[in-house]
Each structure stands twice: as structure tokens, then as C-alpha cells.
Amino acid sequence: MISRVRGTLLLRETERAEIMTPGGVAYEIEIPLSVYERLPREGSEVELRTLYVVRQDGVSLYGFLSEAERALFARLITASGIGPRLGLAILSALSADRVVRAIRERDIATLRQVPGLGTKKAERLVLELGDKLDELAAATVPRAEGRAAEEAVRALVALGYPLATATAAVRAALDENSGLAGPDLIKAALARV
């Protein structure tokens, strides 16, 4: 099993990354959009947590920046009708903590925002994984959780920023000053995007 790949980022595209290890082996790794948005520039050092998936039609390596994302992806693809492609789509459209929250709270409307995830698949996902994400809930809950943080993220998304970028900016702003709220939090987050 290939659990991590560390090396120089050779290629950074919306659906894949290529990393050259110090040993001279390059790995092509499929990634969700949320990972692409947080990757450094090409030529930088990077480490991805990976999941090696063997299927009838081939083998693939999927990469994530955190262990929580990797664990969630591995759990998602165990659900009926959710393959790796749809698993990547879920993590591209929603942050890991939002996916866990939506499944645990049986929030079908949020899950249906994912392209390719209709009502029936969303209901099946909630039914199969609703009570199996307790250990992931603690790992994926952002430190900057709360109504003010969610409102700030929604404001940045409304301004056109991707969800993952908005979430990371709000977390960074709250890491620096946990007392921020409302317009002050949004201004601080905008300074970090």
C-alpha cells in the first residue's frame, strides 16, 4: 500500500498532481478540487496522504492533504453507488467537515449540491454512513466552527471564492484572532485569500 507520497510537485492540475520523489519515481495522483486549491506552486515540496485503489478496470492513486480527508474518502467509497469518481466530486464540492456534518445530520439538500449525487444516492449515503462517521467527526471539525465562521464562509463564497479557499481563509483569520465576528471576520478572511 502507498500511504504517502513526498517530493517535488511537477504538475498541478484540477484533477491530478504529479510528484517526483527523491528516489526518482514520479507518481500521478488523482485529487479533489479542494486539494488542488491548497497545493503549493509547481517546483515546491509537497506531501500527500494517498489511498491506493484497485478495481476491475485498473488501479489509481488518490491524494489528500490531511489524514482526515483521506479517511473520509476511504469511508465514502465503501457506500453503495459511491465510487472513487463520485467520492472525489463530493470532496471537491464540499469540505470534509461539511460532508461529515451533512451525513450525520441527514442533510440531503446539502449533499445534493454535489454534481452527480442525486436524491436517492444522497439518501443511501446518509443511511449507510450516518452512524459510521463518529471518529471522523472529531478529526474533520474545523477549529473555527460556529455561526460567525459559517456566515463569513458563506459571504466569501457569495463573492465568488471557492468553498475550500473561503473556509481556509476564515480558519486562518480566527487562528490569529479568535474574537473576530461579523464584518471584521469577513475583512480579516478577505485579507488571507
The predicted structure's pLDDT at residue 143:
43
Note the pLDDT of residue 140. Answer: 53
Distance CA 77, CA 63 (A): 14
Cell matching residue 54: 484497485
The CATH number, out of the four listed (1.10.3470, 1.25.40, 2.40.230, 1.10.8), of the domain defined by the range 147-190? 1.10.8
Q: What is the CATH number of domain 4-64?
A: 2.40.50.140
State the pLDDT at residue 165. Answer: 77
Q: 61 has which bridge partners?
A: 52
Q: Where in the chain are the domains?
A: 4-64, 67-140, 147-190
Which CATH code fits 67-140?
A: 1.10.150.20
With a CB cutoff of 8 Å and minimum separation 6, the contacts of 25 are none
pTM assigned to the model: 0.70
Q: What is the mean pLDDT of each successive set of 10 residues along the chain, which is 193 residues long?
A: 93 95 95 92 95 90 93 93 94 89 88 91 91 66 62 84 78 79 87 84
Which pLDDT score, from 0 to 100, does residue 157 have? 81
Map residue 115 onto helix, strand or coil: coil
Phi and psi at residue 26, in whole multiples of 5°? Answer: -105, 135
